Structures are given as structure tokens and as C-alpha cells.
Structure 1
């Protein structure tokens, strides 16, 4: 029926785009994908049609003239045809000030598909001021498999490995000053050695290679390492998360499950935050027996950031995009001059000076 383009710059965008690609296919559309930078060597499974990486793929994306471009990155090539739709690559975890972080408006997107009330209201305020983009609260495609009726087999696999034991997922951001991975390694190793619980271990793809080596070395009868593409199934299988300021904290809490955070940059009532690695065992005990107050805080936060538990955010993204294209979201102003400058910068970075849309 129509051609759509999926765009990513990092591997962690793949789990965001895959549910959307499945929804596009189910609706009779064709999903193409062109990936740059850190995602350039990555692929999505059929029926997605992968375009070649590099300039050849970019030329094919321009020639495709897609109906819309869905971006799970901070930017998108503005000279490719179609509505430019921002899907976000994570939740707002307050790593940076709003103007430099989650709420930064770069003048490249026509539609922001927000995850829940906590981000919808600020983006709508920005849209009212700028006038050159629309905002629709859709939920986040990445979390569709978290609430789907069917399991892709991943969560069941982790549960079989755990047996009757409680399961803990450890995830860490790559930002060095915020990462728990170097600090908690020995404490986690001791927990794994005890065999009391089963551990699923994962790191942000941008973490240092030596950290990957050290955490992979912990795998065995009591732990396994989870690749980025399998993170959602690991979240589905785990009972408790141990993390830091990674956006995985918010993804996990959406399930109404407890999280233990190490030196979180902005600790909230729904977190069990601590700063001494030696206290990890005690924090886990509290997480596996949450108080009514803690559970209430978890539920409230989940409702604020992502109230959708039907596994149909991808369908809402597609519907919002069609509303934008049909003019049902109102008339948008022209993009600011700064977006033209950014478009030239993107052309230079990509080495593409051909004709655009």
C-alpha cells in the first residue's frame, strides 16, 4: 500500500523499530530501513527491506520517497521525503538539563510520538510555542512486546534457565560518571556465586569493551549475558532490576516491578536507591518484598510515563502519522532557519549533496 522508512543510528534502536515494522507489515505496508553510524552494520529481520549502509543506501532512501520516516534517533535526514516522526530512543531519565536532553527540539521533526503524560505535556507546551511540529501521545513501540499476549520465546528461555529461583536483571548506562557497572561488579559476582538467585546481565552497547569482558566472564549456571536486541524479553522474565541512571529503569518500572538503583542522578520514590556496593544484598531483599508505599509509588510512576499496557503503541504511532499527513493535527508552521543549517550539517556529515525530497 505505502512505503515507510525506518531510521536508526545505534543498535539499541532496533528493538524500538521492530514492533513498528511488524505493525506496518500487518497493515499491508512495506517497511524499509536505512541505518547510519553505530547501527550501520545492523539489520532487522524480514519482511523489513534493508537498504545498503552508507551513501548507496541513502541514495536509495531518497529515491524511495517514503510516506513517512520513523526515527529512533535524535535526528533524521531532512532531505528524505515524507513526514519525519520522532519515536525517541529512551525515556526521560534526567541525565541532562531539559534544554540539552529529552526535551530538546532540533527543528527536524514534524511529529513527536510521546510515551505518556509525563512527556506529553512538556512537548505540547513546546509545540504551542514553536508551531512547526505536532505532538500525539501514543506510547512507545519498544514496549509492545512487553505486554503482548504472545512471548517470542526469549522470556520463557530465561525462566527455564532460572528454574524456581527469583530472577534479577542488571543493566547499566554507558555514561562513565553515572555507570554502576564498574562499582557493582564484585558485589554482583558474589551474588551470582551464591546461586540464590538467577542473574541476567546486560550493558549499554557503548560501554567499554573491558567491562563487557568482565561481565561476560560471570556467566554460567547462575547467570547469562543478554544482548541489546534481547533486552525486552529479559525485562519480561526478571522479577527485579538492578541499574543506575539508564532508561531501562523506566522501561522496567512500566511493568509495575521494583527497581534497585545505584547512585541514580535523580532518585525518585519508586526507586530503591543506594550508594554503597556492600549494601546490594540488603537492597535486593527490600525489592523482593516491596512495602505498600513503594508499590504505590511504582504504580504511580508507571502510569505517568507509560500508561499503555495493551501492546498496541505501534498501531497508535501509525494512526497518528496518518492523521498528520491528512491534516487532522492542524496546519504546521515552516521549520525555523536553524533547521536548514542543521540539514546542511547532516548532508556534510553523511557526504551526500544530491537532490532531496
Structure 2
């Protein structure tokens, strides 16, 4: 039976999370609509996804709302499904970060065992949401045909090794200001090809400095191209961004600069002057590194079939059919948060 579904995001970086799910909904014969607010406002998902505003979203009465934000408008009908906007990279304490439950969602679609186990414990205690491990829609294109986008990004390398640089916008954790000169020197040398990307929330002046490095030895990659860039690159250079986890799922070497919680699969370093030597190590990993990468990848995202979006849809169907058990009422704190959302969006109808 064909149905309407709503895709919701509050930041531009959520679009690559929602796009594979939109594609899967279309293939299944459903209609996908997208409502983008705040930092995502003005962006769009390509047709046949239909872009809607607040009142259209309410009038749709969608079967489910898929959110790639940490909140969702509760006044829109349908099951509220949390997709997550990144992996848990331990930027914050659990109570404030990845495992914070605000009482807004009916279903959490988790990425892998490392996320599933904590959320199932929370669900058993709270009783007002279900948890299904599905994998993450954003990573579907890593493991299936991406229409040649990754090949196009890699083509200018002309056989050279490819390094992807990505950085968080969190100022105290960002490598982008500290590594700029070292990266610029590597690009000028030209023995490797670089793909450069920064979080959309990074300071515009910093983004422009990195854009200016584009040329025969480097290209700047927009947020919407990030997954293709990860597929195209051989090694990642990053900090405490969740791109580290996304890239590691491919079991490719990860080089991190002052990571907040370095793990055995990472090559972490402290000084910008170490970059050339650390790159050499990343491209010639020791025997233990591949095993550590595989262990970490299986813990956070064991799915390599490119079908996490289909599993999200199936889990949502199971929820709506009552197969995931009866859910308890949302807590009182959720009512206050729902009121805040109405206030922020300016919607006061029943």
C-alpha cells in the first residue's frame, strides 16, 4: 500500500542521511516528502522528493516521520523515528550526547551493537520507545553503486594516493585551524591528491581558506558529496568528527589529530609537524591495524550490504503493526519539550 512519509532535518549535513532513505521509499512505491528547518532551510532533496513547509507537513498526516536531528515536531502525525545525525564519537558525556533520550521518539534505528546495547537498556527502563538495529542509511552508498560519483572525485588523482581531510566545527576539538599550514605544504608537494571538507557550521573564513587550496593537487568537497569522498579516499585525516567512524567502517586507515578519545584503530598525533611522518605510517599500516579497524567497524556498523534504509522502513512497519510491543506514555518532560518545539516553530494549532 502506497503511503506518505516525511523526512525531517534541522541541519544541512542531514541530507546525505535522508537521501538513501528517500530512494528506498521511492523504490518501495511510497511518496517521500522533506521538511527542512533551521540550518537546513533553503536546502533541498532532489525530485521526486517533494519539499514541504510546516503546514503542508501537518496536512500530510504521514505514516511516519524520519528525523536526522536530535528532535522532531511531535504535532505532526505518524510514528516518530530517530535516525541519528552521526556516530557516538564521545564529544560529550553520554547524559548530554548520543544517548540522551528526550521522550520525543517512538523508535530508535540504531547503527550497530555499540549503540544498540545502550539504547536497549534505556528502552527497558523508560518503556516509551522501541529499538531496532538497522544500520545507518547514510552509509548505504559506501557499499553499493553510487553512480560513479566517487570515481569522478578520484579521477584527478591520476593514480596518486588520495587523502580525505575532514574536521568538526567544535572549536576546541577542530584540527582545521591547527593543521592548515601542514596540509597546505603537503598539497603543494603534490605527491598525493587531497579531498578537503569542513563541517557546514565551521567559520566561513576558515572554509574559504581551505577552498583556496583547491587546484591540481586538491579539491574542496561539499557536505552532500562527503560519502562519495569517503569511498574515493585511501586514508582519512581528521580530529574528533564522526567522519572518523564513518570512514573506519570501510576498514581504511584513519589518522586523527588530538582525538578526544583515541582508540586502537586510530593513528593519533599531537603536533602539526608530525603530519608527513604520520601520513607515511597510515599508508604503510602495521600488521595489527587492519584487525583493530575490523573490530571497531563490526562494533559500530557491521552492515556492508548497502540496505540499511530498507531495514529502517521494515522496522517502522513492524512498529506500526504493533510487532515491537506496546509503548508506554511519554514522560512529562517530553510534553514540555513538545511545547518548546511548537513555540520555536510558531505552530499552535491542535
Matched with 1:272 is 267
Matches within 5 A, 1:45-194: 45-51=46-52, 57-148=53-144, 150-194=145-189
Q: Distance in 2 between matches of 1:8 and 1:142?
A: 13
Partner of 1:240: 235
Give 1:25's aligned residue.
26
Task: Give the Cα separation in 2 of the matches to 1:153 and 1:226.
Answer: 15
Q: Which residue of 2 aligns with 1:325?
A: 320
Moved more, 251-260 or 287-296: 287-296
TM-score (norm. length: structure 1): 0.97
Q: Which runs of 5+ in 1 are unaligned?
A: 52-56
Deviations 1:281-317, CA, capped at 9 Å, x for gaps: 1111111111111111111000000000000000000
Structure 1 residue 151 displacement after superposition: 2.6
**Does 2:244 match 1:249?**
yes
1:152, distance to aligned residue in structure 2 (A): 2.2
Q: Distance in 2 between matches of 1:152 and 1:349?
A: 39
Provide the C-alpha distance between the structure 2 equivalents of 1:119 and 1:48, rounded to a whole number of angstroms: 30
Where 1:171 maps in the other structure, the secondary structure is: strand
The 10-residue stretch of structure 1 (150-159 or 314-323) with the greater mean CA deviation from structure 2? 150-159
Q: Give CA deviations for 1:244-293 in whole Å, capped at 9, x if unaligned.
A: 00000000000000010000000000000001000001111111111111
* Residue 170 of structure 1: how far off its partner (Å): 0.1
Structure 2: distance between partners of 1:15 and 1:279? 33
Match of 1:311 in 2: 306
After TM superposition, the runs of 4+ consecutive aligned structure 1 residues lying more than 4 A away are none
Rounded Cα–Cα distance in structure 2 between residues aligned with 1:158 and 1:194 = 20
**Correspondence for 2:204 among 206, 209, 221:** 209
Question: What SS class does the counterpart of residue 224 from structure 1 fall into?
Answer: strand
Q: Structure 2 length normalisation: TM-score?
A: 0.99
The runs of 5 or more residues in structure 2 that have no matched partner are none
SS state of the match for residue 167, structure 2?
coil
Provide the rounded CA distance (Å) in 1 between the counterparts of 2:210 and 2:147: 25
Q: Distance in 1 between matches of 2:63 and 2:155?
A: 43
Q: 2:223 aligns with which of 217, 225, 228?
A: 228
User: What SS does structure 2 have at the residue aligned with 1:24?
Assistant: helix
Which position in structure 1 is the counterpart of 2:43? 42
Could you say which residue in structure 1 is the equivalent of 2:9? 8
Q: How many residues align?
A: 349
